[in-house]
Amino acid sequence: MEQALTEIKTWLALYGLNLLGAAVILALGLAAAGYLSRLVRALMQKAKLDQSLVGFVASLTRVALIAVVIIAALSQAGFQTASLIAVLGGAVFAVGLALQGNLSSLASGVLILVFRPFRVGEVIECGAVIGAVERIDILHTTIKCADGRTVVMPNIKLTSEAVINYSSRPIMRADVTVGVGYGDDIARAKAIVGEVVAGYDKALAEPAPQILVSELADSSVNLAVRVHVGKDDYWQAKADLLELIKLRFDREGVTIPYPQREVHLRGGQASAAVN
């Protein structure tokens, strides 16, 4: 018994102060990590940054500080931490290589949450996907399409490709194209379209609507109809204008041609080939 007590006293004399210092470092370090994490969260919330980004950065700050505190405490206790740091560095490097795509999306998510090219509720288009942004997370963005589909898109795609934001401006220009027959009076057709636009309640007076000949196509003279509307009326306005113009053209006898091809038969051999 006495021998055991002697060994304990000897061990405490050798390592007691180191262990006490390690315990103090650990206690104070953990408290400081919690305080700094809360401070970072408060500052980011004051800057009105996205809550997803706030939570991510605050958690990352806390984990990084705790790792530093633990290494410092182990070093104070007498452990060799150089090899531990090397092992941790190698592990982080290996995980980084394995999760390279996710890390790219993570970095893209941070950029989206900081610079806000689009926000929750706004309608965007990226590639073949058009829909309202439902949620922005660190790794991906959830988009709700008009047909009810939910698309989960990696953030790296949203920062590496062109994104059209249909909700960023209060006013948008709705463009529709209407074909008119070559045999019709173009000036009269434009006047009829102008009357339709003037009577459309969602069309804004300023900027003024435009009705222009945009193309001499194979089967029709195409009129470009450009009308400014509120952003919430954009999609409905395009559908309404096409329907209203078609109904008015039918009443006025203006032709909307479909593609046609003229076939010229020369001699009996060609006629037999067609038959």
Structural contact between residues 136 and 153, judged by C-beta atoms closer than 8 angstroms = no
Cβ-proximal residues to 76 (8 Å cutoff; 6+ apart), any chain: 18, 21, 22, 25
In a domain, 21, yes or no: yes
- Residues 131 and 154 occupy one common structural domain: yes
From residue 47, how far is each of 42, 43, 57, 120, 207 by CA, in Å?
A: 9, 6, 14, 18, 36
pLDDT at 6 over 70: no
- Residues 69 and 143 occupy one common structural domain: no
- Residues 92 and 20 occupy one common structural domain: yes
- Residues 130 and 61 occupy one common structural domain: no
From residue 113, how far is each of 116, 139, 141, 202 by CA, in Å?
A: 5, 11, 11, 33
What CATH number should be reported for the domain holding residue 235? 3.30.70.100
pLDDT at 107 over 60: yes
- Exposure letters 172-206 (e unless 16+ CB within 10 A, then b): bebebebbbeeebeeeebbebbeebbeebebbeee
What CATH number should be reported for the domain holding residue 121? 2.30.30.60
Report pTM.
0.60
For residue 27, what are the domain limits?
A: 11-98
In a domain, 36, yes or no: yes
pLDDT at 97 over 70: no
Tokens of 102: 């996710």
In a domain, 104, yes or no: no
- Residues 25 and 71 occupy one common structural domain: yes
Per-residue confidence (pLDDT) for residue 271, from 0 to 100: 47
- Residues 93 and 15 occupy one common structural domain: yes
- Residues 63 and 135 occupy one common structural domain: no
What CATH number should be reported for the domain holding residue 49? 1.10.287.1260
Is 169 or 9 the better-scoring residue by pLDDT?
Answer: 169
Number of domains in the chain: 3
In a domain, 267, yes or no: no
In a domain, 24, yes or no: yes
In a domain, 82, yes or no: yes
- Residues 136 and 198 occupy one common structural domain: no
In a domain, 186, yes or no: yes
pLDDT at 235 over 60: yes
- Residues 161 and 175 occupy one common structural domain: no
Is 121 or 93 the better-scoring residue by pLDDT?
Answer: 121
Q: Band the pLDDT of 112: cuts 50, 70, 90.
A: confident
Q: How many CA atoms lie within 13 A of 239 on its CB side?
A: 4
- What mean pLDDT is predicted for residues 117-129? 91
- Residues 15 and 94 occupy one common structural domain: yes
Final residue before a domain boundary, out of 98, 129, 148? 98
Q: Band the pLDDT of 131: cuts 50, 70, 90.
A: very high
Instruction: Compute the CA torsion angle 106, 111, 114, 117 (nearest 10 deg).
Output: -120
Helices 51-76, 2-46: crossing angle, 10 deg rounding: 160
- Residues 156 and 176 occupy one common structural domain: no
